[in-house]
Amino acid sequence: MKRLSIIPLALAGAFLATPALAQYVKGNEAVRQAAGARQVETPPLLPSVNRTRPCPAEAGCHPGPWYMVETVEGLRECTEPTARPGTCRPSSYGHRKLSRLWIVKRGATWQWCQYPDLGSQCVDMHARPPANLPVSAVQ
């Protein structure tokens, strides 16, 4: 009987000991390898965002979903999709559950996706409402 109770604990420990790997969105055209170097493009600033004061990532003023953006520093959690300086922090994906949107580029279109998968619900960031309303998910 004791042997049976040890097996579930050992299996649970194996899953907890597995390190979480940094996530990315396969097919995100904003990230490219050229001449052996990683090149990353971030979404352009929108005129409406450019006029507002940024919410620093560590200030606690961000009420909505975190934007998961690939930057030159790697995957970051940002308070806005454009990843302005000071608005991003290192990704906690796999360690902390938060409401997240994934920022990706497909062709010339910037999109926000519900999951780190181009097959999930992705919408054009620059479309007119209601077509641009994203669907975030706690992950």
Q: Quick one: pLDDT at residue 93?
A: 93
Q: Quick one: pLDDT at residue 5?
A: 47
The pLDDT of 80-93, averaged and rounded, is 92
CA dist., res. 76 & res. 67, Å (int):
8
Q: Quick one: pLDDT at residue 49?
A: 61
pLDDT at 15 over 60: no
CA dist., res. 27 & res. 29, Å (int):
6
Q: How many CB atoms lie within 10 A of CB 82?
A: 21
More confident residue, 91 or 48: 91
Using one digit for the tens of pLDDT, what is the confidence trace for 44-84?
Answer: 887 666 667 888 998 888 788 999 999 989 999 999 999 98
Q: Quick one: pLDDT at residue 26?
A: 87
- pTM for this entry: 0.77
Q: Could you give the angle at the alpha carbon of 39 between the alpha carbons of 19 and 26, nearest 5°?
A: 50
Output the CA–CA distances (angstroms, integers) from residue 8 to 1, 2, 20, in the order listed.
Answer: 12, 11, 21
Q: Quick one: pLDDT at residue 48?
A: 63
Using one digit for the tens of pLDDT, what is the confidence trace for 24-52?
Answer: 788 899 998 888 888 899 998 876 666 67
Which residue matches tokens 């009420």?
63
Sign of the dihedral through C-alpha 114, 106, 80, 46: negative
